[in-house]
Amino acid sequence: MGNNRWLRNSFVYLLVIIGIIVIFYTLLPSFGGRNEEPLTTVIAMAKNGEIREVVVDGRKLVVYPRATGRAGADRFTSRIGSDTDVIGLMLESGVEVGPPGGVEVAFKGSSGLSSFFGLLLNFLPLIFFGGLILFMMRQAQGSNNQTMSFGRSRARMMPFNRPGVTFADVAGVEEAKNELEEVVEFLKYPERFLSLGARIPKGILLVGQPGTGKTLLARAVAGEAGVPFFHISGSEFVEMFVGVGAARVRDLFDQAKRNAPCIVFVDEIDAVGRHRGAGLGGGHDEREQTLNQILVEMDGFETNTNIIVLAATNRPDILDPALLRPGRFDRRVTLDLPDVVGRTAILKVHAAGKPLAPEVALETLAKETPGFSGADLANLINEAALLAARFNKKAIFMEEFEEAVERIIAGPERKSRVISPREKEMTAYHEAGHALSAWILPHADRVHKISIVARGAMGGHTSLLPDEDRYLWTKNQFLDMLVVTMGGRVAEQLIFDEVTTGASNDLERGTKIALSMIKRYGMSEALGPRTFGKRQELVFLGRELSEERDYGDKVAEEIDEEVKELINMAYRRAEEILVTHKPKLVRLAEYLIEHETVSGDQLNKIIGDDDFGGEPGTPAVPPQPQPYSPPPLKPLVPQPAPTLSSQSDPTPAATPGEPEM
């Protein structure tokens, strides 16, 4: 690589030097002598006997005067026409030609080689500037974009003897590792499988949300397999020229066949593997040609190629069915978000080699980060290390990890933001309403942290964490979540007798929860256990969703009434809780105003007193009421405040497994 760069630079320097020389000699054709003189001056000097010799070289005359100290020291040049007879012209002008006293006239024959160099000299400026422009275009296009090489594959081959990522560097996806370890075993010891009549899988599709480790797992396969590994992105097949994608696919598999057995990894295969005919106007012909070539190469007439294709995508729903059938992608390996055990293992992998303080408990940190992907956890470790370095610490402490979690979820602290005492007080009561409602309700998640410190676009937030990873939601959990969502607005109404725009996000979130309960999960007694509306996705345009309405206007009105009833029920329940425990609300809000942050353990101490059956100063035990029945609704319900730029976004933090809205 270094030698090629040196050769390119040398070529440029050579062109520059040649150009300077050409320009110099073009502007100074008589360098080393007098300036060029006209032919009439030469004839006049010849009449006066001042010229000793004239050499005719094509259309150029080299004149040697008699009054020179050294031969040729003061020569000059002149120009003649293509049909000029120099001797005849001199004789007509009365100039004696030839020895002993006349002008000696000599003719210098021009060889073909000299004529060629003379012609080349005339074209050298054009060649120089043309070469310079070509070099600049090559630099702009990149060193890899060679002329007439559009059809060549951009895949990079990773040497199998170079140490890299192994399965030991991958954690939290044990099932996926087991699936791919079997492929590696097949490549290393094929006789074990061939003796039983088993064949090697043609392709393995890695499916998972962004950040779950699909690409990392593919790199681990490359490090473990001990065979050549080709990796390319799906977008690198697509070009502006027709037929380039299919040509690159053919070239890629030709290279793979020459290096078989090997592994080909295509990252983000959804760039070329989308449903055919799904685009506007009939589809995308170039992408479909590329996909057709992939289909042929993976399962064509050549069966014994010993090439395993790994592909990764986070959009398996938009892939063409022909690509997913057995014989092409025989296996689909799903990488889910890690559970608490997986998060602990991932944190240990990324924390290896870093100076952690003895107080750091990665198991506790794993419990505090539900819904985090592997990439999020890696970023968490890095953010904590950066924070420790910012304060010149020699080790990473638990407070850096806690702050890193807050920065990832809500953004960095906005310490420069100045708010009035009244806004601070209203934010404190708002967050206290969320926290107290969650603490009272039996099916709500536990309160992890309350803060009124501005972060990002939020003026405050209440973090709720489940005691365990959740994958299913019950109706009671949804109802309690609605109550917690309304707790902030109810607290504002109860204390200040007015509402603010700070609850706009709460209202939006509560509405989505209620709609999901009725339209997707069939949790309405009035409408029954059925779903309403069919969600459709415009494949070619990406994640744009539309809903096909399969119900009439009357049912739509009933859905609206059910949503209104659920939200009103939650509002009245939150009002009942906060009115009953108003002293606790005030105590918690005043503590927030003074300290700005309250942890879950501190919350138990603040609200723990005789009202909850505990002794003063001892942690309280949240009451466990029986499932409540909805109270009768009042005819008038406070209307949502306008959705404006809010000073806060006090929505409790999302928990893993939270239903998609």
* Catalytic residue list: 431
Phi, psi angle pair for 593, to nearest 5°: -60, -40
Counting DSSP H helices and E strands in the chain, the numbers are 20, 15
Contact 158, 222 (CB under 8 A): yes
Q: Give the DSSP letter of residue 652.
A: P
DSSP class of residue 397 equals: -
What is the spatial distance between Cα 125 and Cα 26, in angstroms, rounded to a whole number?
10
Residue 199 makes CB contacts below 8 A (sequence gap 6+) with 193
CA distance 171 to 344: 9
Q: What residues contact residue 111 under an 8 Å CB cut-off, 6+ apart? A: none
What strands, in cross-sheet order, belong to the sheet with 60-65? 76-79, 60-65, 51-57, 104-107
3-state DSSP call for residue 35? coil
DSSP string of 88-152?
HHHHHTT--BSTTTSBEEEE----HHHHHHHHHHHHHHHHHHHHHHHHHHHHHH-TT--TT-TTS
CA 226 to chain centre: 29
Rounded CA gap, 205 and 294, in Å?
A: 14
* Phi and psi torsions of 344, nearest 5°: -60, -45
Residue 322's Cβ-count burial label (10 Å; 0-12, 13-18, 19+) is middle
| DSSP character at residue 595 | H
Angle between helices 582-595 and 421-440 (to 10 degrees): 130
- In terms of Cβ atoms closer than 10 Å to its own Cβ (0-12, 13-18, 19+), residue 354 is middle
Neighbours of 270 (CB within 10 A): 21
> Residue 67, CB half-sphere, CA atoms under 13 Å: how many?
5
Q: Contact, 562 vs 532, CB < 8 A? A: no
- The CA distance from 609 to 619, in Å, is 8
Distance of CA 464 to the CA centre of its chain: 30
| Both structure tokens of 89 | 């012209």
CB proximity list for 122: less than 8 A, separation 6 or greater: none
| Helix axes 504-519 and 553-580, enclosed angle (nearest 10) | 130
Whole-number Å distance between alpha carbons of 249 and 255 = 10
270, 232 in Cβ contact below 8 A? no
Distance CA 402, CA 397 (A): 9
Q: Which two tokens stand for residue 44?
A: 């006049």
Is the Cβ–Cβ distance between 183 and 308 less than 8 Å? yes
- Could you write out the three-class secondary structure of 198-261? CCCCCEEEEEECCCCCHHHHHHHHHHHHCCCEEEEEHHHHCCCCCCHHHHHHHHHHHHHHHCCC
